[in-house]
């Protein structure tokens, strides 16, 4: 017994092991009949209580215009701002003088999903997506090229807006 420890005489009902045990057993038994909280994941991806946030920053998506061409004008801002240096952009130019990306690749393994590319893009072309199912069978499949980025269909992220911090 340590020196100076004050031991309080507590009433029996507070120190009783038997009563605590019975109480605990009643509690666990009651829980057996309560509604289950498990979400049946592959079939069910959101419930009334839980859905993925619209601000979620997942794998990227490149938006396209009406003719199906990517909106990217190869300005080079996104590889410039990317803190993980995961965007590879080689610009090209057609006869009319429009710039477009010859190569546009994002290494999703290097990406830190900060969303700066979406924020910086003047054409609203590159976006981070509301998406989280990214499994692949090989590492090389995680470098997304322009075609793959353009063909994604998942919703794009609504980034946090300092003017509207609560998203109202």
Partner 1 sequence: MTPEMKGFLLLSILKMLLVFTFVLVGVALLTLMERKVSAWMQNRRGPNRVGFAGLLQPAADGLKNILKEETFPAQASALLFMLAPAIAFIPALMLSSVIPFAAPFPAEFDFTMGPLGRFVNHGVVPMVVADVPIGFLFVIAISSIGVYGIALAGWSSNSKYSLLGGLRAGAQMISYEVAMGLSLIPVLLLSGNVSFAHIVAEQQKSLWYVLPLTLSFFVFLVSGFAETNRLPFDLPEAESELIAGYHTEYSAMKFSMFFIAEYANMCTVSMMASTLFFGGWDIPFTAWDQTPGVAQTVATSMVFFAKVMGFLFLFMWIRWTLPRFRYDQLMALGWKVLMPLALGYIMVVGLAIYVIETVLGVSSLRAEGGLLFLVNLPLMFGVFRLLDRGAIIGGSRARVAAARVSRAA
- Which window, 33-41, 86-94, 108-116, 125-133, contacts partner 1 (CB under 8 A)? 33-41
Using CB under 8 A as the binding rule, whether residue 6 contacts partner 1 is answered as yes
The number of beta carbons lying within 10 Å of the beta carbon of residue 158 is: 14
Using CB under 8 A as the binding rule, whether residue 139 contacts partner 1 is answered as no
Using CB under 8 A as the binding rule, whether residue 44 contacts partner 1 is answered as no
Of positions 18, 48, 96, 135, contacts partner 1 by CB under 8 A: 18
The two three-digit tokens of residue 78, written as one number: 């996104």
Total number of residues that touch partner 1 (CB under 8 A): 27
Using CB under 8 A as the binding rule, whether residue 3 contacts partner 1 is answered as yes
Question: Residue 145: which region, alpha, beta or left (left: phi > 0; alpha: psi -120 to 50)?
Answer: beta
Which CB, 17 or 137, lies closer to partner 1? 17
Which CB, 48 or 96, lies closer to partner 1? 48
Q: How far is the CB of 8 from partner 1 (least distance, A)?
A: 9
Residues 77-116 that bind partner 1 (CB under 8 A): none
Q: What single string gives the DSSP state of each residue in the chain?
A: --TTPPPP---HHHH-HHHHHHHHHHHHHHHTTSPP----TTT----SS----TT--EEEEE-B-TTS-B-----SHHHHH-TT--EEEEEEE-TT--EEEEEEEEETTT-----HHHHH-TTS-EEEES------SSGGGGEE-HHHHHH--SPBP----TTSTT--
Using CB under 8 A as the binding rule, whether residue 38 contacts partner 1 is answered as yes
Q: How far is the CB of 41 from partner 1 (least distance, A)?
A: 10
Binding site for partner 1 (CB under 8 A): 1, 3, 5-7, 9-10, 12, 15-19, 21, 24-25, 27-29, 31-32, 34-38, 40
């Amino acid at each position: 017994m340590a020196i100076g420890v004050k031991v309080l005489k507590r009433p029996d009902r507070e120190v009783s092991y038997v009563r605590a045990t019975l109480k605990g057993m009643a509690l666990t038994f009651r829980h057996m009949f309560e509604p289950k909280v498990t979400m049946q994941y592959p079939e069910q991806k959101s419930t009334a209580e839980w859905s993925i946030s619209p601000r979620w920053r997942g794998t990227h998506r490149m938006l396209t215009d009406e003719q199906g061409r990517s909106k990217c004008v190869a300005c080079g801002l996104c590889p410039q701002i990317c803190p993980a240096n995961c965007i590879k952009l080689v610009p090209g130019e057609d006869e009319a003088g429009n710039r477009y990306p010859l190569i546009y690749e994002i290494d999703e393994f290097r990406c830190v999903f900060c969303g700066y590319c979406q924020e910086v893009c003047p054409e609203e072309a590159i976006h981070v997506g509301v998406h989280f199912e990214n499994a692949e069978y090989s590492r090389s499949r995680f470098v997304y090229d322009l075609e793959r980025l353009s063909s994604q269909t998942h919703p794009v992220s609504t980034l946090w807006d300092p003017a509207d911090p609560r998203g109202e």
